[in-house]
């Protein structure tokens, strides 16, 4: 009798385990799976990263059960490639990078069209800021000839801006004595140590790295004239860098800006993107506390210049808010 019971018990255990496995397969995934949101940003000394940290808090507080993380990256180009691979849920990117990614521009770092990308929002303009040490003698774009310049990480959105601006000004990297492909903070350290003449940084006004530089060495903010911006064309636009943006900058400087976007991909659920979009606009104070660039975020301008299709979750929010009819 005992022998029979011993044989039956393992069999019952196996049947129970099989039944539980079948039940688990039939259960809806959303009932037990935690919602995961990976926010793709940029270098820690830029604007994307602190704004990503602010979004992390907004989403953690506002989306029940969500696990949210911020990933520091090489910014625009890397972010878009990661989204295409499904390795992030929302990302910051420059508008020209988004356009080139959608088209599949290999020279810009996109081997094929990134057809899974979907738009969330236009957020704020990046100012492409060229800052030189005063002792370098660089006052104009033409003065960069024969000088050393850091252009951001290779094939980053910032570096794409650098190539475009130099080309529009009738120059190329060949005209420079040296090209450094470095993040913002590292470029600043080289300038402080007199190992670099100038840095080009595509970021919001008042970016921490350039503020740090301006308090350490005398600087010149180099103008990008309107005729150069005209040659660049869309999505670039003429702008000005207000006087006093950086220590020692006593006058406004003609410049160039390009819009930043929040981007996702088609595999992110509609409800998740709807929540992320809605919560961002409901908590703009948190983003503005993280960086002054967020002052420009306006839901009424969220669709301006969007270079790819909207995600249905973002579209749902804009219809609900009366921005899309």
pLDDT tens digits, 263-294: 999 999 999 999 999 999 999 999 999 998 89
Mean pLDDT of the 111-127 span: 96
| pLDDT in the model for residue 11 | 46
| pLDDT in the model for residue 214 | 97
| pLDDT in the model for residue 19 | 39
pLDDT tens digits, 172-181: 999 999 999 9
pLDDT tens digits, 41-70: 998 888 899 999 999 999 999 999 999 999
3-state secondary structure (DSSP) of residue 21: helix
The beta strands (E) that lie in 36-116 are given as 36-40, 67-71, 90-94
- Backbone angle region of 181, left / alpha / beta, with phi > 0 → left and psi within -120 to 50 → alpha: beta
Domain residue spans of the chain: 34-124+260-320, 126-258
Residue 26 has pLDDT above 80, yes or no: no
Mean pLDDT of the 19-40 span: 53
| pLDDT in the model for residue 34 | 66
- Phi then psi dihedrals of residue 131, to 5 deg: -125, 130
Q: State which CATH number among 3.40.190.10, 3.30.465.10, 3.30.1960.10, 1.20.140.10 fits the domain covering 126-258.
A: 3.40.190.10
3-state secondary structure (DSSP) of residue 315: helix
Structure tokens that stand for 9 in this block: 């018990």
Mean pLDDT of the 216-237 span: 94
Structure tokens that stand for 270 in this block: 């509609």
Asked if CATH classification 3.40.190.10 holds for the domain at 34-124+260-320, the reply, yes or no, is: yes
Picking from 137, 115, 146, 113, the residue whose alpha carbon sits closest to that of residue 222 is 137
- The distance of Cα 233 from the centroid of its chain, to the nearest Å, equals 21
Mean pLDDT of the chain: 89
Q: How many C-beta atoms lie closer than 10 Å to residue 3's C-beta?
A: 7
Mean pLDDT of the 73-81 span: 94
Is the pTM higher than 0.85? The answer reads no
CA distance 204 to 200: 13
Q: Are strands 236-241 and 253-265 parallel, antiparallel or unpaired?
A: antiparallel
| pLDDT in the model for residue 155 | 81
> 219 or 27, which is more confident?
219
Answer yes or no: same fold for 34-124+260-320 and 126-258.
Answer: yes
DSSP string, 98-156: HHHHHHT-GGGT-SS--TTEEEEEEEEEEEEEEEEEGGGT--SSGGGTTSEEE--STTS
CA distance 255 to 236: 10
3-state secondary structure (DSSP) of residue 291: coil
Picking from 222, 292, 233, the residue whose alpha carbon sits closest to that of residue 50 is 292
């Amino acid at each position: 009798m005992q022998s029979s019971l011993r044989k039956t018990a393992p069999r019952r255990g196996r049947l129970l385990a099989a039944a539980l496995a079948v039940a688990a397969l039939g259960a809806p995934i959303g009932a037990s799976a935690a919602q995961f949101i990976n926010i793709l940003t940029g270098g820690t000394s830029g604007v994307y990263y602190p704004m990503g940290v602010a979004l992390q808090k907004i989403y953690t507080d506002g989306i029940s059960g969500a696990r949210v993380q911020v990933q520091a990256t090489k910014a625009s180009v890397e972010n878009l490639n990661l989204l295409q691979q499904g390795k992030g849920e929302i990302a910051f990117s420059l508008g020209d990078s988004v356009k080139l990614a959608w088209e599949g521009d290999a020279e810009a770092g996109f081997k094929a069209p990134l057809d899974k990308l979907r738009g969330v929002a236009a957020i704020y303009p990046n100012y492409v800021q060229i800052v030189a040490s005063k002792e370098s003698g660089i006052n104009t774009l033409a003065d960069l000839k024969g000088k050393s310049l850091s252009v951001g990480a290779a094939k980053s959105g910032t570096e794409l801006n650098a190539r475009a601006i130099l080309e529009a000004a009738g120059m190329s990297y060949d005209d420079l004595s040296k090209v450094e492909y470095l993040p913002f903070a590292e470029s600043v350290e080289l300038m402080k140590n007199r190992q670099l003449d100038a840095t080009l940084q595509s970021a919001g006004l008042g970016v921490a790295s350039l503020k740090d530089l301006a308090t350490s060495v005398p600087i010149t903010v180099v103008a990008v004239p309107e005729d150069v911006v005209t040659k660049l064309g869309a999505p670039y636009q003429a702008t000005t860098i207000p006087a006093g943006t950086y220590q020692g900058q006593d006058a406004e400087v003609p410049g160039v800006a390009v819009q930043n976007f929040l981007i996702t991909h088609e595999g992110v659920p509609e409800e998740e993107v709807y929540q992320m979009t809605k919560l961002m606009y409901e908590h703009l104070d948190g983003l503005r506390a993280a960086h002054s660039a967020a002052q420009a975020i306006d839901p009424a301008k969220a669709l301006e210049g969007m270079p790819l299709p909207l995600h249905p979750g973002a579209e749902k929010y804009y219809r609900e808010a009366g921005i899309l009819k």
